[in-house]
Amino acid sequence: MGCINAIFTIILPRFALLVGWYNDPNFWNSLYGSQLLLGVGWLAIPWTTLIYGFVSANGMSFVNWIFVLFAFLLDIGTYGLGFFGGRKEYSSYRGS
């Protein structure tokens, strides 16, 4: 199950961003202003970068900002899974 989670949270958004950028590089470069910001988003917060790219074409309404917020929380949760996944193993040392 951990491998499926890794594929979903790490590889999938980066692959989707790469495919989207390859198909329409002008849209993605104009959306973020430069390839540097797109690259930083690709490395650090790929879900937020991807969702922002999808919803910003229609204008940023309140509902669209909620989607971006949930994508950001998903990115933050991806980095925190290592601690919470091993929490039971760590807590067993306190019982001895």
Instruction: Tell me how far apart the alpha carbons of residues 70 and 74 are, in angstroms, rounded to a whole number.
Output: 6
Share of the chain above pLDDT 70, in %: 80
Average pLDDT value for residue range 54-72 = 91
**pLDDT for 67-94, tens place per residue?**
999 999 888 887 766 556 655 555 555 5
Average pLDDT, the chain: 82
Give me the sign of the Cα torsion angle 8, 11, 12, 13: positive
More confident residue, 95 or 59: 59
